[in-house]
Amino acid sequence: MRHQLPHDTYRALQDAKLTELALYAKELCPEAAVEASPLQYEDEDGHILVFPPPGLSEAEEERIEHALCERSAEILVQTGLFIPCAVLDASAR
């Protein structure tokens, strides 16, 4: 994707989609700490890390991660931007 758009257009789209995913993560789990990074690794166009509060059930963490990954896949299909998302233990921060 980044090779098909002018640099400024790519950066604006990247920023918009990172913001969209970060806000969606906060909507799914308002108590979570959310980190959105535009750093690119290999074929990534950035990434989202979510650190839920201690005590959140594993099932709830999986629900959040699944929802974020679905939204990320939609963004990939719509824009070509690959922005992986992960829900991590707060101790990994």
Domains of the chain in start order, with CATH, are 7-92 (3.30.300)
91 pLDDT tier (thresholds 50, 70, 90): confident
Structure confidence at residue 4 (pLDDT): 78
Give this prediction's pTM. Answer: 0.90
Separation of alpha carbons 54 and 32, rounded Å? 9
Query: pLDDT tens-digit profile of 1-59?
Result: 555 789 899 999 999 999 999 999 999 999 999 999 999 889 999 999 999 999 999 99
7: helix, coil or strand?
Answer: helix
Checking if the pLDDT of 93 tops 80, the result is no
51: helix, coil or strand?
Answer: strand
69 pLDDT tier (thresholds 50, 70, 90): very high
Structure confidence at residue 3 (pLDDT): 59
68: its two tokens: 């974020």
